[in-house]
Amino acid sequence: MKNAFGVTVNDVVLALCSGALRTFLAERGELPDKPMLATVPVSVRERSQRADHGSNKVSTWFASLPTHLADPVARLRALGEHNRKAKQHHESIPADLLQDWAQFAAPTTFGLAVRAYSALRLAEKHPVVHNLVISNVPGPPMPLYLLGARITGMYPFGPVFHGAGLNITVLSLAGRVDVGLIAARNQADDLWPLADALPDALTELVSAAELATNGGSDRD
């Protein structure tokens, strides 16, 4: 899919999530008429100048999810263009500055702010700027085994935030990807419809990629 449309794997992952979210929200009668906003953790390890190779080096950026667009190819192209601009902006900031901010904010200021935000029920008056968190984590490209048994799936879970209680984490393993979903029960009490929408969203994208690769119209 990424080769067919000249985008990245991360763009495809976000397009997959966007398609599934569109179906999920439409079935609930809650589909917004404008894009959703996802917080996307990104690694800054390759750009860091520091020698502490054993620690995580992670920052975040915001991704506009075009859930308001019905065409899966239009969603993928919109994500590709937005993410290219976001990446350029993100890379204009020194990696170690981004990491310092994240490490300081998470355990101290950010942690205090989140607890105050929750205790004062501010989400009811001032919602957070993002709707959900989506993580795309590259896993091992080779099969993994435990006591001689091959691991056939790895379904990760990530954090949810007060006022934006949905996390989608995608983890690759030996040429496939697994998706972990977790949500705040008071905001999405049943995630099976969202899980069921993922294969359909994937089929949509695969069909569009095959059509484009074979020289047909990609509905652009």
pLDDT value, residue 134: 92
pLDDT, tens only, 161-209: 777 789 999 999 998 899 999 998 888 889 999 999 999 999 999 999 9
Q: Specify the residue for token string 């990245």.
A: 8
Amino acid in position 65: L
Per the model's pLDDT, the better-predicted residue between 66 and 216 turns out to be 66
Per the model's pLDDT, the better-predicted residue between 87 and 99 turns out to be 87
**The length of the chain, given as a count of residues:** 220
pLDDT value, residue 147: 95
How is the chain split into domains, by residue range?
A: 2-213
2-213, CATH topology level: Chloramphenicol Acetyltransferase (3.30.559)
CA distance 95 to 92: 9
pLDDT value, residue 44: 53
Q: Specify the residue for token string 């419809």.
A: 193
Residue 50 burial (CB count, 10 A): 11
CA dihedral for 183, 184, 187, 191, sign (positive or negative) = positive
Q: What is the mean pLDDT of the chain?
A: 79
Residue 216 burial (CB count, 10 A): 10
Per the model's pLDDT, the better-predicted residue between 89 and 165 turns out to be 165
The stretch 40-68 carries a mean pLDDT of 67
3-state secondary structure of 42: strand
